[in-house]
Chain A
Amino acid sequence: MSGNDVEEQENQQCAEMAAPRSNVEEIRDRVILGEFGVRNVHTTDFPGNYPGYDDTWNRKKFEEKFRIDVIRMDENTLEFDMVGIDAAIANAFRRILLAEVPTMAIEKVFVYNNTSIVQDEILAHRLGLIPIKADPRLFEYRNAGDEEGTDIDTIQLQLKIKCTRNPRASKDSSDPSELYINHMVYSRDIKWTPLGNQADLFAEAGISPVHGDILIAQLRPGQELDIVMHCVKGVGKDHAKFSPVATASYRLLPEITLLQPVEGELAEKLKRCFSPGVIEIESDGGKKFAKVANSRLDTCSREVFRHDDLKNIVKLGRVRNHFIFSVESTGILSHVILVSEAIKVLMAKCDKFLSELDSAEVD
């Protein structure tokens, strides 16, 4: 689906939403942004909660309503809409992305020599936070108490670098980058030493830090680092270094309703109260009208409420079950894979839970 299509669809939706809604409908479907607080924050569509509504869950209805639209996709970020689902489930995906999708990260650092001024612990901490490009799906978790590791659960990396004086540096130079060689240790200096048959297995992709330009330490002539590292599979709830995303979060689709026509100067003023592109001015026979063009772009700064002449003619709301997800990958796995992995994790959890339930019945 191309971006334009989506936008058109959005616009249609917005037009629909602008129509007056019943009060119950609003409580059910919208989160209202008031001047001093947010109203209707909780999901209330439990079965039987509203007379006249059938809120029992049924698969067909869900499948009809539920959709995922990918809005934007570039190298590291993915923006997609998840519509027709409860906040709890959407949040579960966010939480799993942050904390439970495994990656490989440096866990054990063996310092053979470190004459730099960076302390061993700090160096180890810095190394740990470097994203390592290795597909965690091809590795196993290391067993507790295992210090050595094998080729199925460990990636061995090596950093061996020594700073020396540059013999060809001009005499009167004071620029460290000209005077010394290797005075900046970057993540690209980390070299992979394959264990077992890893060399064949990962020959294509290779294993290395995702970014080569992460500064690890600075050295001066005579200082050296000789370090061997073990990367291990782990999850973000253990340590943030295992988290596969820079961040994963969502926001609800904003909805702006004009309660009465806004014309002339006021329209211009209204336009300025929102992010660019949210309100457009349309002229209709010399008169200028404000029109909600694309409420999706709004950042919900609630600027309208600061203007007494505007605050009562605009209603700010957000669609309760329309989640605009944004997933920023650290670059280890592509964001698309991350999301599908997250779904797999949730499915695995469900399976586990179901099997637990089944086994409980046996008892």
Chain B
Amino acid sequence: MDALIDEYGGMTPQELAAPVNTIEEKWKLLPAFLKVKGLVKQHIDSFNYFINVEIKKIMKANEKITSDADPMWYLKYLNIYVGMPDVEESFNVTRPVSPHECRLRDMTYSAPITVDIEYTRGSQRIIRNALPIGRMPIMLRSSNCVLTGKTPAEFSKLNECPLDPGGYFIVKGQEKVILIQEQLSKNRIIVEADRKGAVGASVTSSTHEKKSRTNMAVRQGRFYLRHNTLSEDAPIAIIFKAMGVESDQEIVQMIGTEEHVMAAFAPSLEECQKAQIFTQTQALKYIGNKVRRQRMWGGPKKTKMEEARELLASTILTHVPVKEFNFRAKCIYLAVMVRRVILAQGDNKVDDRDYYGNKRLELAGQLARLMFSFLISLLNSELKKISDQIIPKQRAAQFDVVKHMRQDQITNGLVNAISTGNWSLKRFKMDRQGVTQVLSRLSYISALGMMTRISSQFEKTRKVSGPRSLQPSQWGMLCPSDTPEGEACGLVKNLALMTHITTDMEDGPIIKLAFNLGVEDVNLLCGEELSYPSVFLVFLNGNILGVIRDHQKLVNTFRLMRRAGFINEFVSISTNLTDRCVYISSDGGRLCRPYIIVKKGMPAVKNKHIEELAQGYRNFEDFLHESLVEYLDVNEENDCSIALYEHMINKDTTHLEIEPFTLLGVCAGLIPYPHHNQSPRNTYQCAMGKQAMGTIGYNQRNRIDTLMYLLAYPQKPMVKTKTIELIDFEKLPAGQNATVAVMSYSGYDIEDALVLNKASLDRGFGRCLVYKNAKCTLKRYTNQTFDKVMGPMLDAATRKPIWRHEILDADGICSPGEKVENKQVLVNKSMPTITQTPLEGSTQPQQPQFRDVPVTYKGSTDSYIEKVMISSNADDAFLIKILLRQTRRPEIGDKFSSRHGQKGVCGLIVPQEDMPFCDSGICPDIIMNPHGYPSRMTVGKLIELLAGKAGVLDGRFHYGTAFGGSKVKDVCEDLIRYGYNYLGKDYVTSGITGEPLEAYIYFGPVYYQKLKHMVLDKMHARARGPRAVLTRQPTEGRSRDGGLRLGEMERDCLIGYGASMLLLERLMISSDAFEVDVCGQCGLLGYSGWCHYCKSSCHVSSLRIPYACKLLFQELQSMNIVPRLKLSPYNE
């Protein structure tokens, strides 16, 4: 109550009762936010933090190398830098390189890592500056990328698209994204029940050096500690004693002196008693016997006790610092763990693993950090090994480490990790596959969608619903719609529009502040205070900081300090009333998003602030600094009362949502009126938006990708959303506004098929360009021979190039603009027959022999050569890239979809004159069957049509933003004004009969996407064709011109029907029939009318069996099994 008077005391009743004014256009905060944070910024921020800050810390951690051979010798890193991306032109000559050049030339966009070192050579101490130790792939648009701070004009000079988000790497010419990895947060106590319902606690500790997992389990009422390094579970009381808390009373005091807590812990003490362990020495001995032996190389031999003490200090609960074997903090931590378990046992208050406050997202920076620190320690150990080996040997020249510092290890380590996506680091018990993926450039949206993708560490095969289902704490942080269907459903997620992921930050100042605000240091407490009902425990990043009496004041002051800018805006503080804790977090990987601060029931952001923002006097940072807006992470959100709209603000409200549509991600943001759709439809559209063809970037015509789909005439959607504007989808659209008539027509529209207007296709609707590339390199071989490109071969009679070489220029490479047909040669390359250096003695032929290895064009349809690039790649080999182009108009079987998960293939193309037309003479581009609506319930599409129609008539774009957008009523009033039906249903005349249709037709524009699936790439048939070598059966798959399999189930049908001759024909005659000679006497296969076993030909008869059958017999024979055939005349 006091607090309320405090806050509202100065206000009159009128003021209190006044309604909260809505803030006009507060969505304008969004573009301002996206300018500083958001979408791809988290990748870039994380990587920037790594190359500018973290890399120096890693260097500090691995600072010094000494040698066992010479105590005087050392090497010390003084500083480390990551430079700007460059490329080595020739020896020691470098020049800056642009990302696009790397893409085209199959190079890695990387910058040198240089170090300043200090080392000894003989008795000299030498300082070397800027010594390269390897190359670091550079994330595009990061602080070290050439693109940062450039204007759009400069971007175009570098052949780069200004709308491209960056945040990916270019490795060996491929664009690679390090996906965001989701995992359980480190260093936090998680209390949970196991399958049998027994409660236990676990902590995954992680520091820069080590990672370990400590479990606490309860068996028969006794507490045990479980750890990988211990061969069996250790009673907890023994652990306490081993850590120096010998008195049972002290243990109990730390855990808690309440009646039920003591009762629950008593059996554990008893067990310790039974084991006859009373002192620290006894306990350490006990544990020492249970330590799993680890292979240790080198180092002085330790006793078991020492080993146990070492283990307790460094491996168990690694993240709790232990200095000089002062286990105080660790004991308290352990006691808190025990207490948590005891308290959870009663009323089963276990933690939720799937709660997003307990999750951390790992970004490119963190993953690169792990890899880099592994590589640098590898380099150090290698240098140490070398120094150990070389120093003892007397040499003329003194040992100089610099000569032994290899650059390629770090370079290759990083490049291979990113290009294969395998992160296997033994030290961190990490072995992950598929961390990186090739950036999908199918459309702008697919690329953006990939940058916001989060992959979960759960196995896809496990059939648990928990991690897959939508979590309430996910609100506003992760998109509820954007997840794939099928096996990865719910495990792969996407960030929402305003989510930011924190990076690590210094915790020193926070500790200081906390102590100043009245937190009592744990190390100064006797232990019993922890469980006092009057105090709250204070945690910082999972470590116990101390206790506080007035937690509310601590939290409030802390927040005030943060709003005032004294501590980082991403530090979060929240109370947990059930656990009686205050959690302060400053670690990286937390999800957070900005909210408007509400004070005294009034939002801090006023209209004038937004006006100033619009005028450019203010930016988002100013809003933060003036404490108008602040970031909340998931845990702190739980501590706040957040109003969705202004009118929902009440006296308890602390924050106000900026815009509700930001809870959706990039892909779901494209859907107009998604709040009117059935939820799975939005999910389907999220998947399909990534397959839509359109434009992929302003530099699309400069790219030579393996596969690229472009639309000939892309259009802005008539019904757009705020998200569409924010992510610049309008500038790089993927789809066309088609006039749709929702009606049945011709019967070729069943099962979601669409009927297209031929005239629309003639005029360019759905016309697309498909680009593919062909590539070849001309290598040099070890024996000084090299690949050659020969000119076209001439026909002897006509002196004209032969057909296969028709399109070649005199240089043997095809020329741009030419039409290529199947099997024609693109590059007439030939290769020397001998590429190895011959053995000594054998004479090298004077003229090397060449063999043709042409690059030929394969494809059922002709292509045109768009451009030819001749360059050299990173290995200095000659590189030829050819871009091939096809222009396709839609045909029957091509796939289209609207933005509402309504996909369909073209079922019929109808001439314009047969199309129905309305009074104004408009005929539809697409006819869609109305049966698509009732079961799908995509009301959003119906509204899109109305809004689109009104927009077309009015000459403006309508909004279909989620939870907002143009109102149906207003839109329909517009229709009326222009003389159209209120419901959007028009009177339509049949184009075939000329008479009106009996029904009114829902008629208007809908944004349609052309999807990448086209019949041309899929159609396949075969009469005769290639066969597999081993079985002589037809090959499999379209790419090998394979047959269509008559499978097991089809075979069953034929058996059931009794069509034996058809079976025989399908399975043998048309497949792999084979004539064999079989000896009727011994039943073995003969050859050429002769039985090799019987040495006779009198019983040999010839019959047809499948070749696979004959193969089976022979394989069995090879395994010492004799299959014998029994023959008898078939008429017997």
* A binding-site residues for B, Cβ under 8 Å: 31, 33, 36-39, 41-43, 87-88, 90-92, 94-95, 98-99, 111, 114, 117, 119-122, 125, 129, 236-237, 239-241, 243, 247-252, 275, 299-303, 306, 318, 326, 328
Contacts and interface: CB of A to CB of B under 8 A. Distances in A.
Contacts of B701: 117
- Name which of B758, B979, B982, B993 has the most chain A CB atoms within 10 A of its CB: B979
Interface stretch (B58-66, B760-768, B1039-1047, B1057-1065): B760-768
A111 B817 contact: yes
B1000 A38 contact: yes
A107 to B, nearest CB: 13
B989 interface: yes
B1108 to A, nearest CB: 47
Interface stretch (B321-329, B480-488, B727-735, B910-918): B910-918
A129 to B, nearest CB: 6
B712 interface: yes
Contacts of B379: none
B982 A38 contact: no
B20 to A, nearest CB: 37
B989 A99 contact: no
A83 to B, nearest CB: 15
A239 B993 CA distance: 22
Nearest to B972: A306
B996 A31 contact: yes
Given A88-B994, A302-B1000, 14 more contacts: A38-B997, A38-B999, A43-B995, A98-B912, A99-B911, A125-B712, A239-B762, A240-B763, A247-B923, A249-B920, A249-B921, A300-B987, A302-B987, A326-B921
Contacts of A119: 769, 864, 866, 885, 887
Interface in B956-977: 975-976
B982 A37 contact: no
A95 B991 contact: yes
Contacts of B912: 98-99, 236, 240, 243
A237 B758 CA distance: 9
Nearest to B771: A119
Nearest to B153: A174
6 contacts: A38-B996, A94-B994, A120-B864, A122-B887, A240-B759, A302-B981
- Name which of A36, A121, A275 has the most chain B CB atoms within 10 A of its CB: A121
A134 B923 CA distance: 27
B459 interface: no
Nearest to B757: A240
Contacts of B920: 249
A94 B913 CA distance: 8
Closest 6 CB pairs of A and B: A91-B994, A249-B921, A299-B979, A240-B762, A240-B759, A121-B887
Contacts of B759: 236, 240, 243
B6 interface: no
Given A99-B912, A119-B769, A240-B759, A300 B994 contact: no
B994 A303 contact: no
Given A37-B998, A114-B817, A243-B759, A301 B981 contact: yes
B913 A241 contact: no
A37 B1000 contact: yes
Contacts of B991: 91, 95
B998 A38 contact: yes
A311 to B, nearest CB: 13
B995 A42 contact: yes
Contacts of B764: 125, 129
B155 interface: no
A129 B760 CA distance: 12
A299 B919 contact: yes
B921 A88 contact: no
Contact of B921 (A120, A248, A306): A248
Interface of B: 701, 712, 758-759, 762-764, 767, 769, 817, 864, 866, 885, 887, 911-913, 917, 919-923, 975-976, 979-982, 987, 989, 991, 993-1000
Contact of A87 (B911, B922, B987, B994): B994
Given A237-B913, A252-B996, A299 B763 contact: no
A220 to B, nearest CB: 11
Interface of A is mostly: mixed
Contacts of A37: 998-1000
Contacts of B975: 301
A91 B919 contact: no
A33 B987 contact: yes
Contacts of A33: 987
Nearest to B767: A125
A30 B1029 CA distance: 74
Contacts of B769: 119, 122
Given A240-B762, A275-B979, A303-B976, A91 B911 contact: no
Contacts of A250: 989
A305 to B, nearest CB: 9
Nearest to A117: B701
Given A99-B913, A121-B887, A306 B919 contact: no
Given A38-B1000, A91-B993, A129-B763, A98 B913 contact: yes
B223 to A, nearest CB: 73
A251 B976 contact: no
A301 B913 contact: no
B1034 to A, nearest CB: 36
Contact of B993 (A87, A275, A302): A87
Given A248-B921, A249-B921, A41 B997 contact: yes
Contacts of A88: 993-994
Contacts of B922: 247
A349 to B, nearest CB: 14
B730 to A, nearest CB: 20
A300 B919 contact: yes
A264 B39 CA distance: 61
A114 B864 CA distance: 13
A87 B990 CA distance: 10
Nearest to A129: B763
Contacts of A302: 981, 987, 1000
B982 A240 contact: no
A92 B994 CA distance: 8
B575 to A, nearest CB: 57
Contacts of B998: 37-39, 41
Nearest to B762: A240
A293 to B, nearest CB: 16
Nearest to A43: B995
Contacts of B981: 301-303
A66 B712 CA distance: 47
- Name which of B885, B976, B989 has the most chain A CB atoms within 10 A of its CB: B989
A301 B979 contact: yes
A137 B494 CA distance: 62
A117 B994 CA distance: 44
A42 B992 CA distance: 13
B696 to A, nearest CB: 15
A117 B156 CA distance: 15
A306 B973 CA distance: 12
B996 A247 contact: no
Contacts of B763: 129, 240
A57 to B, nearest CB: 18
Contacts of B993: 87-88, 91
A240 B997 CA distance: 25
A294 B885 CA distance: 57
B982 A306 contact: yes
A337 B135 CA distance: 75
A117 B917 CA distance: 37
Contacts of B999: 37-38
Nearest to A326: B921
Contacts of A303: 976, 981-982
A241 B976 contact: no
Nearest to A300: B987
Contacts of B919: 249, 251, 299-300
A94 B979 CA distance: 24
- Name which of A91, A114, A239, A248 has the most chain B CB atoms within 10 A of its CB: A91
